[in-house]
Structure formats: structure tokens, C-alpha cells
Amino acid sequence: MILCFVGVDLGRKKRRRRSIHGFPIWYCRSTLLRPEANGRIRSNDLICTLDSGTIEDIYSGAGRLQNPPSDDLLLQAFMYYFRFDAFLPQIDAPDLPPAHIAIRNIDRTFYESLGPENLSKKCKRDGCNRGTISLSVLCRVHHFESVKGKPCPFDD
Ligand SMILES: [Zn+2]
């Protein structure tokens, strides 16, 4: 079963509340406006859909942060899911970084997890003068590239 919820305009205070299968659901009109042929402006009424299982998961996730979850927390959890396609990790969680920054952060964490290079053992990659990392015949840069299958953006 598909349930409709959410436009996005919390600033205009047009949100409404409904209850579907016992779950409080909010929706509101989109801020996107478009002119009609008669020159009047009307909202686009964009509608997104979530299946009932996802709505229950969002509700349950909010309930783990605060039991029972307040109306404001539920709204926050639904909006977070709407914006980031992810469950609210904590109350008042900051926005997720853009994807390219998140990927770079993950890559950096992996790169740093490789540990220091042993300068007494040279990397096996032709032309590389760096040392090897523990349990590898490659330096951090070349081990990163070997595992990730892409150029390493780091060289420290
Ligand atoms: Zn190397």
C-alpha cells in the first residue's frame, strides 16, 4: 500500500496532520510555485510517496530516540528521510554532507586506517619509492587504489 505524504514548506505553516493506520502523518504544500495561464500563482502540490513499511520504520526509529516520540520529533524524522533518504540518527541531527564530500570522508577514513608505511620495505609498484604498509607489499596510495579501484586522492 502506498501512502502519500510530504510536500515541503514548513516556513509557511501550512502543514497538516493526519493519522494513517494510527501513525501521525504530516503533509504540506510545496514551496515550488508556478504561474497558471490566468497569471495566478499556484503551488505545485508535489507529492512524494512512501510505503507503509517505510513509514513504520521512520516512526520506530524516532521512537528509539524518544519514547514516545513527540510530534516535532516525528516531523523531524520524516523530513530527514525525505531530504536524505536516511533515518534520523539523533534528535536535531545536522544535515548530511553532499555525496561527494561523504565519499571523500569515507575514503579518508579508509586511507588513514591503512597505518604508517615501513620505509625499510619499498612498495612493489613500479616507480614508487614509498614504503609498504603492514600486511601488504604496497604503499598506502597503491594499496588504496588496489582496494578501491580508483585513483587515490591522498599522498601524505
Ligand atoms: Zn606505492
Give the confidence band of 109 by pLDDT, cuts at 50, 70, 90.
very high
29 Cα–ligand 1 center, Å: 55
Specify whether the CB–CB gap between 54 and 32 falls below 8 A.
no
Question: What is the CA(125)–ligand 1 centre distance, in A?
Answer: 5
Identify the pLDDT of residue 30: 38
Distance 126 CA to ligand 1 centre (A): 8
Q: What is the reported pLDDT for 155?
A: 93
Q: How confident is the model at residue 108 (pLDDT cuts 50, 70, 90)?
A: very high
pLDDT band at 99 (very low <50, low <70, confident <90, very high): confident
As beta bridge partners, residue 133 has 117
Whose CA is closest to 77, among 55, 109, 106?
55
Mean pLDDT of 132-139: 97
Average pLDDT over residues 89-117: 94
From 17-26, 49-58, 62-71, 99-108, the region with the lowest mean pLDDT: 17-26
The string of DSSP codes covering 110-150 is HHHHT--EEEEEE-SSTT--PEEETT-SS-HHHHHHHHHSS
- Residue 118 Cα, ligand 1 centroid: separation in angstroms? 12
Contacts 24+ apart (CB under 8 A), 125-128: none
Q: What's the pLDDT tens digit per position in 3-18? A: 334 433 334 444 444 5
Q: How far is the CA of 104 from the centre of ligand 1 (A)?
A: 20
- The whole-number pLDDT of residue 41 equals 42
pLDDT 10s digits, 77-87: 988 988 888 99
Q: Residue 85's CB: how many other CB atoms inside 10 A?
A: 8
Going by pLDDT thresholds of 50, 70 and 90, the confidence category of residue 44 is: very low
pLDDT bin (cut points 50, 70, 90) of residue 104 is very high
- Tell me how far the alpha carbon of residue 109 lies from the centroid of ligand 1, in angstroms: 19
Contact 47, 26 (CB under 8 A): no
CA 112 to centroid of ligand 1, rounded, Å: 15
CA 105 to ligand 1 centroid distance, Å: 22
Give distance in angstroms: CA of 85 to centre of ligand 1: 38
- Whole-number Å distance, alpha carbon 53 to ligand 1 midpoint, is 48
Own/partner long-range contacts of 134-140 (Cβ < 8 Å, ≥24 apart) = 140/111, 140/114, 140/115
Judged against a pLDDT cut of 60, whether residue 37 lies above it is answered with no
pLDDT at 4: 37
Q: How far is CA 45 from the centre of its chain?
A: 25
CA of 120 to the centre of ligand 1 (A): 13
